[in-house]
Amino acid sequence: MEKKVHVFSEIGKLKSVLVHRPGDEVENLTPEYLERLLFDDVPFKKVAIEEHNKFTSLIRENGAEVLYIEELVAETLDQNPKIKEAFVDQFINEASVRKDLVKPFKDFLMKMTNLDMAVKMIAGTKKLELGITNDADKYPFIADPLPNVLFQRDPFASIGNGVTMHHMWSVTRNRETIFPDLVFKNHKRFAGNVPYFYERDWKDFIEGGDILVLNSETLIIGVSQRTSMAAIEKASKQIFKEGSYNKILVLDLPKSRAFMHLDTVFTNVDYDKFIVHPLIFDSIDQFKIFELSKDGKKEIKKPLVDVLSEATGYKVQLIKCGGEDPIAAGREQWNDGTNVLTIAPGVVIAYERNWVTIDLLEKAGVKVIKTPSSELSRGRGGPRCMTMPIIREDLPKKSS
């Protein structure tokens, strides 16, 4: 199978996926920085790494290649030594490093191996590490940590054979897209073969947690706290022109942190099955559905389940995260109960803590592979958020 980007569904057998194993960045957090850095707690690194290793070994055991963003960055720089300095300059510039620290920080990074440097860029650098102990300014970092690199779902999205490279909603997360942008433009495996449907320096914000590749004709994208309608409309022009797509269903969600992305309330787990938060299920009136096509945008005034049945060609079943119990629904949604990674039609990896939702999925005939999540869940992201598929097998064409 070709090695570039190939993702024409949310459920086709997963063959290659991008992740980041948590590192020192999750220990470069204190309560006062959590809100700005968009992390909800301070994970115990040792256990977070063990949990992540377990998660990736489950993916491998099920037949997919696991790629690490920090390794791809290092390989890209190994293959193209001439671009290293410009990349370091760009990183320093985007990290808003204080003027007088630019030179020592650049020397510090340039001396490292490419892999150590990529890992360090994600981890953040403390003034202490450069021997600065009595700075008048008490802010401890030269460059902030990037704890949300754990969530590879968001900085870009694989759509068909191309990607949308995102302008992310927050200043802190927007720095993350420098890594995949470097890789897709310069790594031998991808360079010249991955069309962009969105660029990181376009102004409207969009994030991968809102993008769901339903099949080879239809995408579903959420308008959320993180993704604006303007960005979707802009991306749609490129996608309709260069991709195989002719339709984007837009779900206009309530804008809040608990529902920051579409995949915190909605995921596709089988040909005819979606897992949804009761909010979507019960309050269909609280959000609007639009259809974008080459002919423009129109509102669709039909229940979500009918819209999905039409788009998939199956009689769609919606499975409620947390079932009928509003406490279980609220708790499990907060811990990413809807945020499962589908690794083949009807087979998902889920956080084992969300047992009410897991039980309902199993009753609906979905195979659930459980993965531990005490520490991984502290950043508010689940198995889907932690992964960006690079290759999925195509789904068989539906005969009827």
Ligand X SMILES: NC(=[NH2+])NCCC[C@H](N)C(=O)O
Binding site for ligand X (CB under 6 A): 38-39, 148, 151, 153-154, 173, 209, 260-261, 263-264, 379-381, 385
Between 267 and 312, name the residue whose CB sits nearer to ligand X. 267
Sheet strands side by side (includes 247-252): 211-213, 218-223, 247-252, 288-293, 296-300
Query: From the CB of 259, what's the least distance to ligand X, in Å?
Result: 9
- List the Cα angle 269/271/274 in 5-degree steps: 40
| C-alpha pair distances (Å), 271 with each of 316, 362, 363, 391, 397 | 8, 15, 16, 18, 11
- Residue carrying structure tokens 């993180």: 226
Q: Residue 354 CA to chain centroid, in angstroms? A: 20
* 322 Rama sector, left if φ>0, alpha if ψ -120 to 50, beta otherwise: left
CB atoms within 10 A of CB 36: 11
Query: From the CB of 39, what's the least distance to ligand X, in Å?
Result: 6
Answer for the pair 258, 1: CB distance below 8 angstroms, yes or no: no
Between 135 and 252, name the residue whose CB sits nearer to ligand X. 252
Query: From the CB of 316, what's the least distance to ligand X, in Å?
Result: 22
CA–CA gap between residue 64 and residue 390 (Å, rounded): 10
- Residue carrying structure tokens 């979507």: 280
Amino acid at 1: M
To the query of whether residue 321 is one of the catalytic residues in this protein, the response is no
Between 34 and 115, name the residue whose CB sits nearer to ligand X. 34
CA–CA gap between residue 161 and residue 178 (Å, rounded): 20
DSSP 69-130: HHHHHHHHHHH-GGGHHHHHHHHHHHTT--GGGHHHHHHHHHTS-HHHHHHHHHH-EEGGGG
Query: From the CB of 321, what's the least distance to ligand X, in Å?
Result: 13
Strands (E), the chain: 14-19, 65-68, 125-126, 141-143, 156-159, 162-165, 196-198, 211-213, 218-223, 247-252, 266-270, 273-276, 288-293, 296-300, 317-320, 341-344, 347-351, 367-371, 388-392
* 98 Rama sector, left if φ>0, alpha if ψ -120 to 50, beta otherwise: beta
Between 154 and 181, name the residue whose CB sits nearer to ligand X. 154
Query: From the CB of 330, what's the least distance to ligand X, in Å?
Result: 16
Between 181 and 207, name the residue whose CB sits nearer to ligand X. 207
Looking at 183, 249, 385, 388, which residue is catalytic? 385
Query: From the CB of 143, what's the least distance to ligand X, in Å?
Result: 19
* Residue of this chain nearest to ligand X (CB atom): 209
The DSSP symbol for 12 reads S
Query: From the CB of 261, what's the least distance to ligand X, in Å?
Result: 4
Between 22 and 381, name the residue whose CB sits nearer to ligand X. 381
Between 348 and 385, name the residue whose CB sits nearer to ligand X. 385
As annotated, the active-site residues are 385
